[in-house]
Amino acid sequence: MGYEIRIDLINVSVKKEHVDLIKKAIKGELEGVSDIYYMIKNLKVLRNRLLSWGQEGNGDNWAYEFDGEGNMTMCSGRRAAAIKGLINKAKRANHSLGASDGLG
């Protein structure tokens, strides 16, 4: 089972003089874009210089995990769900003990 996601960026066009630069960034050939390449690689410059963001896949379950230091890595969606479950379980345990952590 596959999927396709497409987001049309309304009225976001690339100036003629920057098309080649944007195409280099999309290919990962531009210095300084490695931190955001996971998003840039899904951009496309259409014939009319409009930008479109899209992604296709085989239906794998994936997510991104933040490390708290500004970095993120791809991880299983099951791992992300397990972490969220542990956080919610800890919140419920604190709440049932009368602890107030400010998280609700």
| Per-residue pLDDT tens over the stretch 8-27 | 667 778 899 999 998 999 89
Percent of the chain scoring above 70 in pLDDT: 60
**Does the pLDDT of residue 71 top 80, yes or no?**
no
CA gap 19, 25 in Å, rounded: 10
Tokens (6 digits) for 26: 């999309």
Which is higher by pLDDT, 34 or 75? 34
Supply the pLDDT for residue 38.
Answer: 79
CA gap 8, 25 in Å, rounded: 19
CA gap 94, 86 in Å, rounded: 12
Among candidate residues 55, 54, 56, the one with its CA nearest the CA of residue 9: 54
Contact 28, 39 (CB under 8 A): no
Q: How many CB atoms lie within 10 A of CB 25?
A: 19
